[in-house]
A and B are shown apart, each in its own frame.
Chain A
Amino acid sequence: MFKRLAPALLSVMLAAPAWARDELAIGITQFPATLNPSIESMLAKTYVLAFAHRPITAYDASWQLTCLLCETLPTIENGLAKVETLAGGKRGIAATYTLRADARWADGKPVTSDDVVFSWEVGRHPQSGVAAAELFRRITRVEVKDARTFTLHVDKLTFDYNAINDLRLLPAHIEGPRFKSAPAEYRNRTAYDQDSTNPGLYNGPYRITSVVQGSHVVLEPNAHWGGAKPAFRRIVVKAIENTASLEANLLSGGIDMIAGELGLPLEQSLAFEKRHGARFAVITKPSLTYEHLDINLGSPILAVPEIRRALLLGLDRETISRQLFEGRQIVAESLVPPLDWVFAADLPKATFDPARAAVLLDQAGWKPGPGGIRVNAKGERLSLELVTTAGNRSRELVAQVMQSQWKKIGVELRLKTEPPRVLFGDTVTRRKFPHMALFAWYSAPESVPRSMLHSSMIPNGANNWSGQNYTGYASPAMDRLIDAVEVEPDKDKRRLLWREIQALYAADLPALPLFFRSDSFILPKGLKGLEPTGHQDPSPYWVENWRWE
């Protein structure tokens, strides 16, 4: 009997599960901690929620601001946004939005202006647990016109006055009682974590129907979704931290695709493409993730602008990109990526010129010394330390190539790696790196670099080490430009201001620009309609366009 049963049992046990073609399994490298759209900013959460929870506005794949849950983007030109003069003569703005008539929570309740008011109240409450509360603080009043129309009164007229991507809607009918009874406890009592599969929490084309902590999230269509019908009966997002396992899961059919937003690093993805490119479509999308070297301008060596210029000219970034990343990481000339409309393409580029770099170093008083390393008049070696994140293979490779390239112009580079929590929890945030720190900034299109470049944002003990101007860059001209560009509504004028920012940045070099990273999506060949965005608004915001062909 057993002899007869054993083969059958074995075949049942060993049979791989077959995915139906109306299902999609996606691999990402992190599991979201909380699912509340307002509490904590975490890429894994943003990605998973993007299928199920729509923001009112977002940047699309062409980096243009667009309405997702609203009908028309309010602008001064179309009259839906009006400049207001506030007490003290300050200029503010009143922007009127109308929610889409077919916007519904997945329990059938309409998304209303009450939800907007409630979400704003939660966002601005100091004890709610909402992290980035600036937008909520800037909105001084929400004026409800009707069930779908509301006006936001904002205390500052900025150029991006109509971008309310951070105002994530919470369903007042579910979250209201949980918040109002004890605001300080809300972050521990939100239904998004305590009752994650409640359909009323989601207003996107999908809703979350199952959460297996640390493993996967299951999404199924929102029966009340009013937009284009999504193609998949079920989407599963699986968290697989180890990238080798992520690849193996893809090859073995455990997942259908690897998300670019939170998937394989570029060099691993390129290697995968070489091996398995025939089976999968590998798409790389240049992003606004800005890999650069923050310079500690307090260092006596690097405080000299000629030295910073020489270091940049001594780097062959084109070759690094070509050799290590098959040219798919765009060389950066400043902190603005070429895909951003404010990118100043006409500014001169810092192309590789080791001869010019040597002249600059000579002029700065660093002459060739023993062992090919330059020395100054006191006999001190031109030796710099670069710190970067341990375990990031791309950065470690780039750092090693930079080390060899700079050696050729007589600069010694000592490499140091630190775990991310040490690097970002202490070394850069408290400006403890002696010379250079290699890491990346990830932001939005046309993101004003106030926190990185404004002199008021230099972390120090007095401001509790807040701010991200880790270089210690203090330029009155840059401060003026940042202050001006933030409140300039005229696009042409703003483009000119952005050009000046980029020119000043390239001249002062508080940081050495390296590359704009590319996100790498590994997709099944039959999956169509997925458009990588390259910025913080992930591709699933447009999941209804995805389909098998």
Chain B
Amino acid sequence: MTGRLIQSVLVLLVMSFVVYGLMGLMPGDPIDLMIAGDPRLTPEDAVRLKVLYGLDRPWTERWLRWLGQVLQGELGYSRLYARPVLDAMAPALGNSALLMLSAMALSLSLAIPLGILASLRPGGLVDRLVNLAAFASVSVPVFWLGLMLIVVFAVSLGWLPAGGVESVGDGGPTDRLRHMVLPVSALALAGIGQATRHMRAAMIGEAGADYIRTARAKGCGPARIVLRHQLRNALLPITTIIALEFGGLFSGALITETVFAWPGMGRLIYEAVMGNDFNLALSGLLLATAMTLAGSILADMAYQRLDPRIGKP
């Protein structure tokens, strides 16, 4: 485990160098863009602002300075949001985590039973219907799905708000819940197909295993075989999906957040990258990387828990 942690820290370090370098290589800096958009800015303003924001320094020097700050526990100041990086990220992190966790929970709670159902009679009517639905789910672009949900449930029926995280002046749990319904549904519907297909394939794979035949021979009932024996092993690939999506919990879903005006990490990181806000972009991207690495470690641990043979010499 210590080895994995050291490896993860090194990955983060390399990642920060690469991201900083790539952002440094992108054309134009924030001041260039300000000059292009504001005729009142004079050449001397441009020079003054570049010095003020440290943009006159090579990016390697800026990266080293940033690294020094981070090692002292200081993530720096977001130029775009005019506040400390942590202050800018905190509400967005919470919003993204809420959205993604809810979507994942909804998606899995539907995908697992559907995958099991489809695997019971491969090629049967239920299987074909589930496959069709799963295919539709993975094929439909999430932005289109989001807009359709808005058109139907917000515009035509007027049942739900079209966007945002809360009503102004309300913000109670019920209100938050109402605002979550559409974005969570869009994300869950878009993700459910993949999980269902994984679940179905894993269940079918396990159905032919020796231990299932043994269980049947011992006289175990079908429900017990499916739920107690087959499901336990079939959950392994689902664990991988959950682990891979762990990073996304805190980096957000850019398209969904944009369509539903949901102020989450996806939009925050996108705006930071486009606006050349080094401190914010780097912190956001590194957080996403760290979460993915953490997810991978958690997946390993879960694997060992579900199948104690994994990870043993």
Q: Are A and B co-members of a single complex?
A: yes
The residue among B80, B88, B263 with the most chain A CB atoms within 10 A of its own CB is B263
Report Cα–Cα, A205/B111, bound state, in Å. Answer: 54
- Known contacts A41-B34, A252-B154, A422-B27; is A245 also within 8 Å of B274 by CB? no
Interface residues in B1-58 (C-beta closer than 8 Å to A): 26-29, 32-43, 45-50, 52
Q: Does residue B92 face the partner (Cβ distance < 8 Å to A)? A: yes
* Inter-subunit contact A127/B52 (CB<8 Å): yes
Query: Which of A238, A447, A466 is the one whose CB lies under 8 Å from B164?
Result: A238
Chain B residues contacting A36 (CB-CB under 8 Å) are 82
* Inter-subunit contact A466/B28 (CB<8 Å): no
Q: Does residue A518 face the partner (Cβ distance < 8 Å to B)? A: no
Residue of A whose beta carbon sits closest to that of B77: A188
Chain B residues contacting A442 (CB-CB under 8 Å) are 37
- Known contacts A245-B259, A428-B36; is A14 also within 8 Å of B178 by CB? yes
* Inter-subunit contact B35/A240 (CB<8 Å): no
Chain B residues contacting A216 (CB-CB under 8 Å) are 164, 168
Q: Does residue A492 face the partner (Cβ distance < 8 Å to B)? A: no
Q: Does residue B174 face the partner (Cβ distance < 8 Å to A)? A: yes
Query: Which of A31, A126, A240 is the one whose CB lies under 8 Å from B163?
Result: A240
- Known contacts A244-B147, A428-B36; is A13 also within 8 Å of B45 by CB? no
Interface residues in B112-171 (C-beta closer than 8 Å to A): 147, 150-151, 154-155, 158-170
Chain A residues contacting B154 (CB-CB under 8 Å) are 248-249, 251-252, 254
Q: Does residue A402 face the partner (Cβ distance < 8 Å to B)? A: no
Report Cα–Cα, A218/B167, bound state, in Å. Answer: 11
Interface residues in A265-303 (C-beta closer than 8 Å to B): none
- Known contacts A131-B34, A421-B27; is A166 also within 8 Å of B39 by CB? no
Query: Which of A131, A212, A218, A252 is the one whose CB lies under 8 Å from B45?
Result: A131
Residue of A whose beta carbon sits closest to that of B150: A248
Residue of A whose beta carbon sits closest to that of B92: A214
Interface residues in A439-488 (C-beta closer than 8 Å to B): 441-443, 447, 451-452, 463-468
Report Cα–Cα, A300/B108, bound state, in Å. Answer: 63
Chain A residues contacting B147 (CB-CB under 8 Å) are 244-245, 248
Chain A residues contacting B310 (CB-CB under 8 Å) are none
* Inter-subunit contact A252/B40 (CB<8 Å): no
* Inter-subunit contact B32/A252 (CB<8 Å): no
Chain A residues contacting B92 (CB-CB under 8 Å) are 213-214
* Inter-subunit contact A429/B35 (CB<8 Å): yes
Q: Does residue B303 face the partner (Cβ distance < 8 Å to A)? A: no
Chain A residues contacting B164 (CB-CB under 8 Å) are 215-216, 238, 240, 254
* Inter-subunit contact A252/B47 (CB<8 Å): no
Report Cα–Cα, A111/B228, bound state, in Å. Answer: 75
* Inter-subunit contact B263/A131 (CB<8 Å): no
Tell me, rounded to whole Å, the shortest Cβ–Cβ distance linking A441 to chain B: 7
Tell me, rounded to whole Å, the shortest Cβ–Cβ distance linking A58 to chain B: 15
Chain A residues contacting B166 (CB-CB under 8 Å) are 212
| Binary B-proximity of A210-253 (CB < 8 A = 1, otherwise 0) | 10111110100000000000000010101111101100110111
Residue of B whose beta carbon sits closest to that of A214: B263
Q: Does residue A200 face the partner (Cβ distance < 8 Å to B)? A: no
Please give me the 8 A-B residue pairs with the lowest Cβ-Cβ distance, nearest first: A425-B28, A214-B263, A466-B43, A426-B27, A424-B36, A34-B82, A132-B40, A252-B154
A sample of 12 more A-B contacts (CB under 8 A), given A188-B77, A245-B261, A447-B39, is A33-B81, A39-B82, A194-B83, A213-B263, A215-B261, A236-B168, A248-B154, A248-B163, A251-B155, A420-B33, A421-B274, A464-B47
Residues in A lying within 8 Å of B, measured CB to CB? 12-14, 16-17, 25, 31, 33-34, 36, 39-41, 126-127, 129, 131-134, 166, 184, 187-188, 190, 193-194, 210, 212-216, 218, 234, 236, 238-242, 244-245, 248-249, 251-254, 419-422, 424-429, 441-443, 447, 451-452, 463-468
Q: Could you list 5 A-B pairs, sorted by A, with CB under 8 Å?
A: A14-B159, A132-B41, A248-B162, A252-B150, A467-B43
